[in-house]
Amino acid sequence: MDPTNDALSRRHFLETAGGAVLASSLPGAFSDSSSAAAAQVDIPDNPLQSDRKIRMGIVGGGFGSAFQWQEDPNCIVHAVSDLRTDRRENLMKVYKCDRSYESLERLILDKDIEAVAVFTPAPDHVRHCASVMNAGKHVICAVPAAMSLEECERLLEAKKRNDRKYMMAETSYYRYHTIAARQLFDQGRFGELYYSEVEYYHPHDKPFIKRYWHYQGKRTWRHGFPPMHYPTHSTGFLVGVTRERLTEVSCLGWSNPRIDVYAKADNAYHNPFSDQTALMKTDKGHMCRCNVFWSGVASGERAQWFGANLAYYMPGSAGRPFRINGHNAPDWKEVPKFWHLLPKPMRHDSGHGGSHTFLTHEFIAALVEQREPAVNVYEALAMTAPGIVAYQSALKGGEQLKVPTFDVRA
């Protein structure tokens, strides 16, 4: 199987063809009229219909505590780990787990663990994921996948050498609006989807964010982190809908004069930018405007997709409402939540626009079904590498640069 087509897995089928076929019968599922009375049918308590249990190890007690592993009927949290005692204890409490390790290196020696969730600092992702796969275990990792093109190569090589499953926990892929846009695209309703605007606004000049810049008097990895080294909350809105590859990029950057860490490039990355915007070209000749801002007053993750026949606008902090325009647009009062794709205990709102439960279950489902997850290593690198190159473009004053592809089809 060509790994670049892993989105055509069972999970993807359920989200596209399956969602459309069931639209008229599943309450809350994909349908043209969210206000129409849906016929009541029996929804399986667990879409997998399997008793297999995946024994997980969870590493990273910050963001790593925000997922629903303990709610998935096909998952057992076997052990947790964090360098900090307080975070280890929190992980044990959240996941009702009585076994912990002081480091990832010790946790991966546990022979009973089949897969590991890595939520460690971004500069450690490739090293930690490679260690997990070298230990013979599958891995799901926080974003971004890598920090450099060389690290992209190392991650891919580790996955191929060990023949383990890798998934990137990109939240934009499973936001309700993205699932809906993906279905509309796969049904051909957009026509040619020729332009998208994708954006991630996370102001770092607010006191509650600045506190993550230091720990015990030392700078953390977040201090001065380049915006376009954290691109996937934006690029995932395009790659995760059309599966296109971003092949060329021209990027500009700006330094907020109020924030010395950027204005004076006073950080470990020598990064001078607090905000970056890029114009990207896809392998289909389409256009994408991509923003990642660490300052200003905007907030959140959102996108809008423009096709020849349909335009889809996600709501956002600026007050723009959810809207779909076009002669073949579904008559939705609000976007469906697609909970029928999840096991019954996980059918509830979760972090980052409802994405956490879907990300959690997708990784477990991929292991149970012995297939590649939706956001596999190829999709992850397709979302990550354009930002790495965009940052280099900004350092060169916006020079248009080529983005390498890591797909096997290249």
CA torsion 37→38→42→48, rounded to 10°?
-140
Contact 307, 193 (CB under 8 A): yes
Burial of 151 (0-12, 13-18, 19+ CB in 10 A): buried
pLDDT exceeds 70 at position 8: no
Contact 235, 387 (CB under 8 A): yes
pLDDT exceeds 60 at position 376: yes
Alpha-carbon distance values, 171 to 8, 174, 211, 234, 259 (Å): 19, 6, 23, 10, 28
Q: Which of 23-27, 52-56, 145-149, 244-248 has the lowest mean pLDDT?
A: 23-27
SS3 content of the chain, % helix, strand, coil (to 5): 35, 20, 45
Averaged confidence pLDDT in the chain = 88
Task: Give pLDDT tens digits for 216-270.
Answer: 888 999 999 999 999 999 999 999 999 999 999 999 999 999 888 898 999 999 9
pLDDT value for 242: 98
| Rounded-to-integer distance, Cα 61 and Cα 371, Å | 28
pLDDT value for 317: 78
Which domains are assigned to the chain? 3-171 (3.40.50.720), 174-335+377-402 (3.30.360.10)
Reduced to 3 states (helix: H, G, I; strand: E, B; else coil), residue 357 is: helix
pLDDT value for 298: 83
Q: 144: cis peptide before it, omega within 30°?
A: yes
| Rounded-to-integer distance, Cα 50 and Cα 39, Å | 27
pLDDT value for 15: 43
Per residue in 20-31, is it b (16+ CB within 10 Å) or e — as a string? bebbeebeebbb
pLDDT value for 297: 83
**Average confidence (pLDDT) over 130-153:** 98
Q: Which of 285-294, 311-320, 352-361 has the lowest mean pLDDT?
A: 311-320
pLDDT value for 27: 33
pLDDT exceeds 60 at position 11: no
Q: Is the pTM of this model over 0.85?
A: yes
pLDDT exceeds 70 at position 2: no
With a CB cutoff of 8 Å and minimum separation 6, the contacts of 144 are 122, 125, 168, 229, 230, 231, 232, 383, 384, 387
**Average confidence (pLDDT) over 86-109:** 96
Task: Give pLDDT tens digits for 168-218.
Answer: 999 999 999 999 999 999 999 999 999 999 999 988 666 656 677 888 888
| Rounded-to-integer distance, Cα 295 and Cα 256, Å | 7
Contact 387, 292 (CB under 8 A): yes
What is the amino acid identity at position 129? C
With pLDDT > 70 as the criterion, what percentage of the chain qualifies?
88
pLDDT value for 173: 97
| Rounded-to-integer distance, Cα 314 and Cα 181, Å | 10
| Rounded-to-integer distance, Cα 74 and Cα 69, Å | 9
N-to-C CA span, the chain:
15
